[in-house]
Amino acid sequence: MVGFSRFSVFSVLCVLSLGCEDAQVKPVPKISIESGLAVAPELTFAPVEGDLDALPKISTLVKSSGVVLNPIIQKPSKDWVAGDKANLVASGEEFLSQIEPIIEKRWQLPPPSAENLNFVGYVDIKTACKYLVAYADAVDEGGNPEYAIRALKASRNLASRLYESSTSFVSQLVGNAIDAIAERAIRQIVIRGSMSSKELAQLQQPALTIDPARTGLSQAIRGEWTLFFVPTIATTEFPPHGNEMTELFSLDDHDLTEEIRGNSEPFNRLKTIETFAPYFRIAISELEGDGISTELSRAKLAEILNGVPTEESAVPAWAKKTSNAVGLLIGQASLGVWDSAFGAAVKCGVSRGLTEVVVAAQRGLAETGSLPRDMAELRKYGLSDSVKDAYSGKDFLYDPVRGLAWSVGPDGKDDGGKDQIERWSNDTKDRVVRVK
C-alpha cells in the first residue's frame, strides 16, 4: 500500500476529480467510461429497496436517548451497581421499543461517499448495538428474559440490515463488528442459564442456506465497482487540480507531479478499468463459492500490481517510466481491504454457527439437566443441519465434559480446542466458546 488507507480513499475523488468540494452524501450514478466500456453486467450493483432514512433515524435516536454519553455501557457488567442497572433498564426499554420499528423494515444505505467512509451514522449503529446488549444483560439478570431476547434479536438484526443493504466495504465491515458484538453477547447471556427451553428456542435461527455476511460482501464489492471505483476513475484527471498529490499519495507534491508529467501515458481511464475488472470478477467468484481462501484474487492483484513500489521513495522514478502509473496507484490504494473483508465475513459466519451450538446445548441442559452428549444430540435441541464450520465444511467440535465447542480455525486443523475462550485473534488456532 502506498501512502494511505482504503478508508481515506475518498480523497482520490477530492484530489483528482471535478467539483468535489461538497462532501454531502449524494446518489452516485452508474458511469461508463467515455470511450465506450460499459459497466460489466456481472459486476453491476443492484440497490436494495428499503428505508432511505434508517441511518439518520438511528443516529437521532441514539443521540436523543443519551446513549452516547451513558457511562454504563463503557464498563463491564460485573462493575455495575444497582443504580446503573436501574437506569439502564428504565432507559433501555424505551430505546428498544423505538429502535425495533426501524429494524423491522429493510434499509437502503447511501452509496460510498465522504460521509460513510468516515463512519458517520455507522458509529451510532454500533453504539446502539452495544447499548442493546448491555440492556439485555441487565434485564436477563433481573429476571425478564422476554425483553432480553427482544434486545438480543434487535442487536443481531442490526447486522443483518447492514449486510442485506451493503453498498461498500465500510458498511460491510461495520456489519461484521456489530455481528461479532451481538453473537458474543448471546453466548454469554445464554450460558448464564436463566432462560427456559422455550425461551432459548426463540433465539435459535432458522436453517440458513446462505451466509448473510458473505452475501453482503458480494453486494458490497459490486457496489465498490459500480458506485465507487468506476466513477472515481471516470472523473479522475491528471495533472491534478491544486497540485495536491501529497494528500493522495503522501509524497512531495511537486516532485511526484513533475515525475509523472514526464510520462507519455501517466493515466488512462479505459486501461485502468480493463486492468482491474478481472480482479473484481475473480474476487466475487471466490466469495460466492464455498471456500475460505482468497488465493486466486490475491494472485490476480499481485499480477496486476507487479512492480508497483511499496516504498514511497521509489514511486517517483517508477511513475516516470510506467504506463498508467496513476491508475495503478489508485487501484493499489483502493483494493487492499478486500482480503481482510473476506476473512471477517467467514469469521462472522463461524461465530454465528457457534452461537447456535451454545444455544442448543443450553436448551438440552434446560430440558434434561445435562448437556447433550454429541453433535447428533444437539440436533434434537434445535441445532439446524445447515450449521457447519466454514473452515472445515464439517460439524463444529464439541466436548460436553469440558463444556466447550470450537471451530478448527483458518488452518483447518483441529488442535483440541485448547486456545483461550472467545479469543479469536490471528495467532489463535481454534476458535473456542463455552457452552456452559
Angle of helix 122-141 versus helix 82-104 axis, rounded to 10: 130
Residue 235 above 60 pLDDT?
Answer: yes
Residue 417: pLDDT above 70?
A: yes
Candidates 140, 26, 2, 94; CA nearest to 13 is 26
**pLDDT reading at 123 higher than 60:** yes
pLDDT at residue 380 above 80? yes
In this prediction the pTM is 0.85
Q: How far apart are the first and last CA of the chain?
A: 44
Q: What is the mean pLDDT of residues 167-192?
A: 93
The rounded distance, in Å, linking the Cα atoms of 115 and 133 is 26
Annotate the chain with three-state secondary structure: CCCCCHHHCHHHHHHHECCCCCCCCCCCCCCCCCCCCCCCHHHCCCCCCCECCHHHHHHHHHHHHCHHHCHHHHCCHHHCCHHHHHHHHHHHHHHHHHHHHHHHCCECCCCCCHHHHCCCCHHHHHHHHHHHHHHHHHHHHCCCHHHHHHHHHHHHHHHHHHHHCCCCHHHHHHHHHHHHHHHHHHHHHHHCCCCCHHHHHHHCCCCCCCCHHHHHHHHHHHHHHHHHHHHHHHHECCCCHHHCHHHHHCCCHHHHHHHHHCCCCCCCHHHHHHHHHHHHHHHHHHHCCCCCCCHHHHHHHHHHCCCCCCCHHHHHHHHHHCCCHHHHHHHHHHHCCHHHHHHHHHHHHHHHHHHHHHHHHHHHHHHHCCCCCCHHHHHCCCCCCCCCECCCCECCEEECCCCEEEECCCCCCCCCCCCCCCCCCCCCCCEEEECC
pLDDT of residue 6 exceeding 70, the answer is no
In angstroms, the CA 317 to CA 193 distance is 65
pLDDT(4) > 50:
no
By residue count, the chain amounts to 436
Give CA–CA dist 16/9, Å, rounded: 11
With beta carbons less than 8 A apart as the criterion, state whether 187 and 433 touch: yes
Residue 117: per-residue pLDDT: 53
130 or 330: which carries more pLDDT confidence? 130
Percentage of residues of the chain with pLDDT beyond 70: 84
Q: Among the listed ranges 115-124, 180-189, 425-434, which one has the minimum average pLDDT value?
A: 115-124
Q: Above 60 in pLDDT, residue 307?
A: yes
Mean pLDDT of 260-284: 88
pLDDT tens digits for range 54-89:
999 999 999 998 887 787 888 887 888 888 888 889
Query: Among 186-195, 253-262, 318-327, which range has the highest average pLDDT?
Result: 186-195
Arithmetic mean of pLDDT over the chain: 83
Cross-sheet strand order for the sheet of 404-407: 397-399, 404-407, 431-434
Q: What angle do CA 317, 260, 221 make, to 5 degrees?
A: 100
Three cell numbers, residue 145 = 428474559
Write the CA distances from 159 to 13, 111, 141, 341, integer angstroms: 29, 18, 24, 15
* Banded model confidence at residue 26, pLDDT cuts 50, 70, 90: very low
Report residue 121's pLDDT band, with 50, 70 and 90 as the boundaries: confident
Distance CA 123, CA 117 (A): 11
Strand 431-434 vs strand 397-399: parallel, antiparallel, or unpaired?
Answer: unpaired
Beta-ladder partners of 389: 394
Q: Among the ranges 68-72, 232-236, 406-410, which has the highest mean pLDDT value? A: 406-410
For the segment 202-222, the average pLDDT, to the nearest whole number, is 86
423 or 99: which leads in pLDDT = 99
Quick one: pLDDT at residue 15? Answer: 30
pLDDT tens-digit series, residues 421-434: 998 887 889 999 99
Model confidence band, residue 21 (pLDDT cutoffs 50, 70, 90): very low
CA-to-CA separations, 74 to 119, 122, 127, 424, in angstroms, rounded = 20, 18, 10, 22
Mean pLDDT to the nearest integer, 324-352:
87
Percent of the chain exceeding pLDDT 90 equals 47
Distance CA(67)–CA(88), nearest Å, equals: 10
What lies within 8 Å, CB to CB, of 432 at 6+ separation is: 404, 405, 406, 417, 418, 419, 420, 421, 422, 423
Phi, psi values for residue 299, rounded to 5°: -65, -40
Q: Is the pLDDT of residue 230 over 60?
A: yes
Q: What band does 406 get if pLDDT is binned at 50, 70 and 90?
A: very high
- Inform me whether the pLDDT recorded for 253 exceeds 70: no
* pLDDT the model gives residue 257: 72
Compare 28 and 409 and report the one with higher pLDDT. Answer: 409
